[in-house]
Amino acid sequence: MDLHILDHRLKVTSICKDGLVVFTHPLIKLIFLRNRTRCKFFSLTETPENYTVVLDEEGFKELPPSEHLLVEASTWLPLNVVSNGHASSSSQAVGVTKIAKSVIAPLAEQHVSVFMLSTYQTDFILVREKDLSVVIRTLEEEFNIYREVGGECVPFRSQDIRNGFQKNGKEAAKVTVHPVLSPLNKFLVMSLDPDTLPAIATTLIDVLFYSSSQKDGSHSNQDLDCIKFFSFSLIDGYISIVMDTEAQRQFPANLLFTSSSQELWRMVRIGGQPLGFDECGIVAQISQPLADSDISAYYISTFSFDHALVPEEDIDSVISLLQQQRRDTSQV
């Protein structure tokens, strides 16, 4: 397999819900007026706590400074695993499980934290730019590694990195196994032809920017029986949307599309309290047992928590696996 280091330098940010009005105009510009900005990598995910926005340096320039905006200090680089010359398709949502052992687990052992972003088209593994040297040294025996330069993919090796960084030879730190929750919502992973984006503009704006103010009780944020979760990404011209079945009913049925099986997904939400960016192994906590059990997953990290979508029919097995993992860890 090949590993591509994409030509995007990303910032991971959080917008508090009370301050969303400050950012409505620039976010609408980034979503709907892509010809008016040079941003090529944009992702917006709403959770009960906040909005997580991941975007490249050109997109980051569009966000005004504000006390309502939190910015993770690092610059992140997206990695993409490519098989047989083609990126793994997340319309089948198997990318994370395939790369769990070959990418995520080895990086966790080397104390490299990752930020995951699955899309309808592919899976992105975000790593800090300052960790790139150890990432390359850790993975170069398993992968042919390429880096995008001016739109071209060129071979990239550890000797190409100026700041030499040796692999960690110390024993890996004990990984914390966080509690997990499974809200009752059923989710869909969908896409959209960018040319038809204006046709859903009114609905998309309403769902993203105004639905949180509705007090209809349909989403209980206190007990998480159901969870407010909506994710939109526009990356290199490709659109990916994750929404629950309730939100789907608001959109025109003939514009959004998913795989032929029309699969439904359930969520596993990782963390009893907000997670830290410096902690390693959070993704491995769930991706490893799912990979061992050959269960598909669609993974989205956010500023506060991590989320994995698994096929609806597998949710009971996944919860049992993770509960057993937690019991085993507590006995060590």
Q: Could you give the CA distance from residue 307 to residue 305 in angstroms, rounded to a whole number?
A: 7
Q: Would you say residue 222 has pLDDT above 60?
A: no
The stretch 51-74 carries a mean pLDDT of 97
Domain ranges for the chain, please list them: 1-332
85-113 pLDDT, tens digit each: 555 444 333 356 668 778 998 998 899 99
- Go through 120-144 and write b for each residue having 16 or more CB atoms within 10 A of its CB, e for each that does not: bbbbbbbbbeebbbbbbbbbeeebe
Pinpoint the alpha helices (H) of the chain: 24-32, 57-60, 95-99, 105-109, 132-139, 201-209, 245-248, 282-292, 315-331
Residue 296, CA distances (Å) to 35, 89, 133, 308, 313 in order: 35, 12, 30, 10, 11
Can you name the CATH fold of 1-332?
VC0802-like (3.30.2130)
Share of the chain above pLDDT 90, in %: 59
Q: Could you give the CA distance from residue 332 to residue 329 in angstroms, rounded to a whole number?
A: 5
For residue 117, give the nearest of 41, 170, 7, 206 by alpha carbon: 41
Q: Would you say residue 84 has pLDDT above 80?
A: no
